[in-house]
């Protein structure tokens, strides 16, 4: 029965039908924090005989689509793995194209009346911002400043990000804080968690982590945040094609487990 519904939903692309489905889902328990590993842009592009840059551009369209779904579901926080620190090892032309796309889309996201303003979303760029080109850092600064007072929801763009790097900096910050306050750097889990980049960005605990494209690994993304109660889901759909029909079973599974607690 569920597969029939999903097939019907995928065939029905109109927004009215999707809004009805989302409204029904929102009546049940809703996760506070959902994270996505947006994987498969390059393989999607190759399957469509497109340039890699076009695959990444379509991936941004998918981000807007999923962000809109999550906001209408009343998800409090959405985190996306936009660019890994290791991605700097990719061919220079691809890295340059991704940086240009990031700068352009950051500006687009913050246009008056766009999703972030419409839903009162605060944008955080989580990661080693010092590694970004100057023009992208400036776009980040403007975007974060423009949305600083939005308090209904949070969008974390993790770029350039690596979970081990995040944990390393959290341990260092926690040890320094302890040394400054009590004179010795004895830290515990709560001290480390307090200094994680996602924590300082105001994010609630992670409920669901989704990776697309069929790859079943975390690739150094939110290792600390996903190790306790977060539900992990791996979808075979490439990220640019990921939509409500793919997300629906994940939310239903979350709701089923919440009702059986």
Q: Catalytic residue positions?
A: 39
What does the DSSP assignment read for 144-157?
Answer: HHHTTT--SEEEEE
What is the arrangement of strands in the sheet containing 77-81, beginning at the earlier edge strand? Answer: 121-126, 153-158, 77-81, 33-37, 208-211, 231-234
Which distant-in-sequence residues (6+ apart) come within 8 Å of 229 by Cβ?
205, 207
Characterize the bridge pairing of strands 33-37 and 77-81: parallel
Please state, as a whole number, how many other Cβ atoms lie within 10 Å of the Cβ of residue 64: 14
**Do 208 and 230 meet the contact criterion of CB atoms below 8 Å apart?**
yes
Q: With 0-12 CB in 10 A as exposed, 13-18 as middle and 19+ as buried, what is 26? A: middle
Ramachandran quadrant class, 206 (left: phi over 0; alpha: psi -120 to 50; beta: rest):
beta
């Amino acid at each position: 029965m569920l597969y029939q519904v999903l097939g019907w939903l995928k065939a029905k692309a109109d927004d009215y039908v999707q809004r009805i489905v989302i409204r029904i889902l929102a009546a049940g328990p809703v996760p506070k924090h959902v994270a996505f590993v947006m994987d498969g842009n390059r393989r999607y592009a190759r399957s469509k005989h497109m340039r890699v840059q076009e695959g990444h551009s379509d991936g941004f369209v998918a981000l807007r689509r999923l962000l809109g779904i999550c906001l209408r579901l009343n998800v409090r926080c959405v985190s996306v793995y936009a660019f890994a620190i290791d991605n700097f090892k990719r061919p220079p032309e691809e890295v340059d194209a991704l940086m240009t796309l990031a700068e352009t889309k950051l500006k687009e996201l913050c246009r008056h009346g766009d999703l972030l303003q419409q839903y009162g979303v605060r944008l955080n760029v989580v990661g080693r911002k010092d590694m970004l080109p100057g023009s992208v850092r400036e776009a980040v600064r403007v975007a974060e400043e423009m949305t600083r007072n939005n308090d209904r929801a949070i969008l974390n763009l993790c770029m350039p990000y690596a979970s081990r790097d995040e944990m390393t900096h959290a341990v260092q910050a926690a040890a320094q804080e302890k040394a400054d306050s009590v004179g010795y750097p004895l830290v515990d889990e709560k001290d480390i968690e307090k200094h994680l980049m996602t924590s300082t960005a105001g994010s609630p605990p992670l409920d669901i982590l989704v990776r697309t494209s069929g790859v079943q690994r975390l690739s150094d993304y939110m290792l600390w945040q996903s190790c306790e109660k977060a539900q992990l889901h791996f979808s075979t759909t490439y990220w640019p094609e990921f939509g409500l029909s793919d997300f629906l079973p994940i939310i239903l599974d979350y709701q089923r487990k919440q009702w059986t607690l």
